[in-house]
Amino acid sequence: MKKRVIYLAAIFLSLSTVVSAQFYTGIRVGGNLNNVSLPTIIDLVAPNVEYLPGVNLGITTEYGISDHFSIISEANYQEKGFRIRENMDVNLFNLDIPLGVRVDTKVRYVDIPVMAKYAFGNGGVKGYLAAGPQVSYALNGRVKTRADFLFDFNLTNIPINFSTVNYQRFDVAAVIAAGVDIPAGNGKVFFDARFSQGLSDSFKLPVIDLNIKNHGFGFGVGYKMAL
């Protein structure tokens, strides 16, 4: 009889935990800076590889397991890529005129991150840390070339053909985040900063392993409503 009471108490406790668990859904918008890691042989040819700015926006959900632990899952649109810049001086009528060429490779992804979140703080405003895996799918991309010689002008604007350049549509990454939750109405406003590191190669060739992986920093703000 005592065992049955213990079992029933455990069942009711688990049910009450599920019922009391809080579920949030909302939106997140922000910006990001992205780049790629390059092998040494490519780095020697194109040394000036820079971060490329982009935007991100999406839908976020959060399932609270306890007061401090929860699971975040999202579906985001995000722009990733990198920028290559070369500058030189051209002598024109005994004047050194700067000539610059910039190549932007931008790929638009749908990102699906799933992160475990730990919140700290006892008041209304809470800080948090989160980490987890992310799976991404490339929708499309373009390579834009601009020249700067007395004035800026476009040289090329070419869509990326994923099948011919061996660019991988699927990308797997690890994501870490830090942020702040602020109670607001029937939900909370949040601010966060994130870093993502690609775990799979963005390009694949039959013989050479280029080991080119995406990585980047992101900053966002959003609102989650309790359901």
The answer to whether residue 18 scores a pLDDT higher than 70 is no
CATH 3.40.50.300 given to domain 21-226? no
Q: For the segment 71-121, what is each residue's pLDDT rounded down to a tens digit?
A: 999 999 999 998 888 766 555 555 555 567 888 889 999 999 999 999 998
Q: For the segment 37-54, what is each residue's pLDDT rounded down to a tens digit?
A: 876 555 555 557 889 999
The answer to whether residue 206 scores a pLDDT higher than 60 is no
Q: Domain map of the chain by residue range?
A: 21-226
**Average pLDDT in the chain:** 82
pLDDT for 16:
42
* Cβ atoms of residues 84 and 69 within 8 Å: no
Query: Can you tell me whether residue 3 is helix, strand or coil?
Result: helix
Segment of 64-68, 121-125, 156-160, 223-227 carrying the highest mean pLDDT:
223-227
Task: Note the pTM of the prediction, 2 decimals.
Answer: 0.78
- Count of alpha carbons within 13 Å of 170, Cβ hemisphere only? 2
Between CA 82 and CA 216 the distance in angstroms is 10
Q: Compute the CA torsion angle 177, 116, 122, 14 (nearest 10 deg).
A: 170
